Amino acid sequence: MLAATYYLFSDKVILLFTDIPGVIELAHEYGLWIVLFPFTAFIGLIFYGVFTGATEAVPVRNSMLLALMAFLLVQFTAVSNHGNHGLWLAFLAFSLGRSLFLALYIPRLNRKVTEIMNDDSLMKSSSF
């Protein structure tokens, strides 16, 4: 919804922040990146909350380090050829990388939660 809202009403959204013609022009030039960002970031943000709530910091750290490597790889190759568009691409690569790398840890988290739930049910049934 966020991407669609910005895509459909970008002129009005930009005017909420500035009336400077040069800034408005730049915002339109890079507007596609703003539309794409939620699609690359939302899974990572959700999984970040899931792993934090499960007190699993190692997957969050590892995914951030891997996403940083993806960012740096794209940044070093794309910025020199595409300028600020290359930087936006690197930022989206970071966001997408964080989403994908955290998703790889979901099966491990599911196994851990299942083990904990099975241990809890054993403890409850043995206390009676």
The 10s digit of each residue's pLDDT in 81-105 is 999 999 999 999 999 999 999 999 9
pLDDT of amino acid 116: 85
pLDDT score, position 118: 86
Tokens 């049934």, located at residue: 125
| Domain tally, the chain | 1
Q: How many CB atoms lie within 10 A of CB 40?
A: 19
Question: 7-21: per-residue pLDDT in tens?
Answer: 999 999 999 999 999
Joined together, the tokens standing for residue 63 give 């995914």
User: How far, in Å, CA of 61 to CA of 38, rounded?
Assistant: 21
Whether 76 and 106 have beta carbons less than 8 Å apart is answered as no
Enclosing domain of residue 72: 2-126
Helices 31-53 and 106-126: crossing angle in degrees, nearest 10, is: 30
Mean pLDDT of 101-126: 83
Angstrom distance (rounded) from CA 41 to CA 94: 9
Q: How many CB atoms lie within 10 A of CB 105?
A: 19
* CA-based nearest residue to 31, from 17, 42, 44: 17
